[in-house]
């Protein structure tokens, strides 16, 4: 069951419906977005709110894609490492145990 949660982004209050177990994540996401928007607004004086929102969205999407790529690379590296260990173990075991 969804409940409204109040979050503040750039001094504006928004009521967002979410499940109780999702509330901490929503509040954290709103605080993160608010911080990014404030950072961009302070660094890009004269930019409209729409431009700042688009820049923040692009920056956050870039961060997400970078983390996903690093995780995929790390998973691939781990899989290769585990395969090498498995090969070494298989080579050291007697044929009857394989």
Domains (range + CATH), the chain: 3-93 (3.30.160.880)
Q: Which residue has the higher pLDDT, 67 or 1?
A: 67
Query: Tens of pLDDT along 7-27?
Result: 999 999 999 999 999 999 999
pTM reported for the whole predicted model: 0.73
Under 8 Å between Cβ of 5 and 15:
yes
Q: What letter does residue 7 receive in the DSSP assignment? A: E
Under 8 Å between Cβ of 41 and 47:
yes
Average pLDDT over residues 48-72: 95
Q: Which residue has the higher pLDDT, 5 or 90?
A: 5
Q: What are phi and psi of 7, to 5 degrees?
A: -130, 150
């Amino acid at each position: 069951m969804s409940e409204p949660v109040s979050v503040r982004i750039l001094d504006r209050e928004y009521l967002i419906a979410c499940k109780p177990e999702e509330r901490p994540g929503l509040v954290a996401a709103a605080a993160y977005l608010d911080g990014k928007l404030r950072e961009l607004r302070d660094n890009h004086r004269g930019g409209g709110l729409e431009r700042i929102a688009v820049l923040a969205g692009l920056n956050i999407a870039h961060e997400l894609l970078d983390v996903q790529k690093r995780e995929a690379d790390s998973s691939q590296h781990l899989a290769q490492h585990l395969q090498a260990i498995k090969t070494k173990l298989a080579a050291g075991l007697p044929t009857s145990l394989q």
